[in-house]
Amino acid sequence: MVERLRRQLVVRQNRPVDVDQWPTDDTLGWNKDGAKGELSKVIGQMAFVQHRLMAEAQQSLLVVLQGRDASGKDGLVRHVMTGMNSAGVRVVNFKVPAGVEKQHDYLWRCHQACPARGEVGVWNRSHYEDILVPRVKGLVPEEVWRRRYRHVRDFEQMLADEGTRILKFYLHVSHDVQRLRLQKRIDNPESSWKHDPSDLSDRELWPAYAEAYAELLRETSRPHAPWYVIPADNKWVRDLAVAKIVLDELRDMNPQLPKPEKSLKGIKVQ
Ligand code: AMP
Ligand code: MG
């Protein structure tokens, strides 16, 4: 079942992807009540395998979250990723590079944010911003952002070769749903602090971002670091789809509890 889900949502290497043609409101054959029950089960199972990943301390999992403003990256972290033991989960939010980050190449801060052995890393935005934003806003010449496809493919290949599994999720919302969510955020005193004027200026650049995402997903989806396009108009679909894929990957990693050095048989604690 999960295999079918993964096949349905994965971006195939080098095939044309027109993101705006992919459905944002697909329910993937699920219903809301059933999906909520299923999600808590899946989160429990994720926590179980993650415990073994931490104990084994050999492999890492990196989960990259990309998507437009209000596509639900924060919500996903809150509802799904925090179900695991937070001692072994490292959530990193990537903002506009500042201070020392600007004194280095763009992958510098990313490499430092990579999960250690035994950890799950969750990136809320990522090195992909360094391709999207400069492209859409015309901050650097095309040859500069374009060669970054190659850099990130090689960077991710290196991480994979050295023991990190990588899953990348593009949370796909419609133009209308983004409008509703941004408006709600502004109108609600509990969330209005989150409003950022750049959310509105980026919204005006919707078609340019669509084009940039389409090419980026195609250029950087690889078997060792695949992109999944997640229908994200419904939060419950988004959460369950990502949780199922993460659980499947963790299980495939098959982490083993370390064996005690000597037999514990006969040891009595006094
Ligand atoms: P948020 O919407 O709270 O995630 O805000 C983060 C903002 O930082 C977004 O507008 C991103 O586009 C922006 N951002 C993150 N990383 C980069 C980057 N490497 N270059 C330019 N802008 C970035
Ligand atoms: Mg924002």
Q: pLDDT tens across 152-182, in order?
A: 999 999 999 999 999 999 999 999 999 999 9
How far apart are alpha carbons 217 and 227 in whole angstroms?
6
Residue nearest to atom 23 of ligand 1 (CA): 96
The pLDDT value given to residue 146? 98
**Residue whose C-alpha is closest to residue 111's, from 147, 53, 68, 162:** 162
How far apart are alpha carbons 68 and 171 in whole angstroms?
8
Residue nearest to atom 5 of ligand 1 (CA): 95
| Helix, strand and coil in the chain, % to nearest 5 | 55, 15, 35
How many angstroms separate the alpha carbon of residue 95 from the centre of ligand 1? 4
Q: Which of the two residues, 1 and 180, has the higher pLDDT score?
A: 180
Label residue 21 by pLDDT band (50, 70, 90): confident
Label residue 13 by pLDDT band (50, 70, 90): confident
With H, G, I as helix, E, B as strand and everything else as coil, classify residue 143. helix
The answer, yes or no, to whether any atom of ligand 1 lies below 6 A from the CB of 75, is no
- Inter-residue long-range contacts of 199-208, CB under 8 Å, 24+ positions, other chains counted: 199/69, 199/70, 202/68, 202/69, 203/68, 203/69, 203/178, 203/179, 205/136, 205/137, 206/68, 206/175, 208/136
Residue positions counted in the chain: 270
What is the best residue among 77, 96, 195 to mutate for testing ligand 1's pocket, by most ligand atoms within 8 Å of CB? 96
The answer, yes or no, to whether any atom of ligand 1 lies below 6 A from the CB of 95, is yes
pTM for the full model? 0.97
Residue nearest to atom 4 of ligand 1 (CA): 95
What is the best residue among 95, 182, 202 to mutate for testing ligand 1's pocket, by most ligand atoms within 8 Å of CB? 95
With H, G, I as helix, E, B as strand and everything else as coil, classify residue 264. coil
Label residue 249 by pLDDT band (50, 70, 90): very high
Question: Which tokens is 211 given?
Answer: 């084009």
How far apart are alpha carbons 53 and 19 in whole angstroms?
34
The answer, yes or no, to whether any atom of ligand 1 lies below 6 A from the CB of 97, is yes
The pLDDT value given to residue 263? 80
Q: Is the dihedral of CA 79, 61, 233, 173 positive or negative?
A: positive
Residue nearest to atom 1 of ligand 1 (CA): 95
Q: pLDDT tens across 174-213, in order?
A: 999 999 999 999 999 999 999 999 999 999 999 999 999 9
**Residue whose C-alpha is closest to residue 249's, from 219, 225, 222, 217:** 225
Q: pLDDT tens across 130-140, in order?
A: 999 999 999 99
Label residue 266 by pLDDT band (50, 70, 90): confident
The answer, yes or no, to whether any atom of ligand 1 lies below 6 A from the CB of 130, is yes
The answer, yes or no, to whether any atom of ligand 1 lies below 6 A from the CB of 133, is yes
The pLDDT value given to residue 265? 82
| Residue 176, C-beta contacts closer than 8 angstroms, at least 6 positions apart | none
List C-alpha distances in Å: 78 to 16, 83, 104, 226.
33, 8, 31, 23
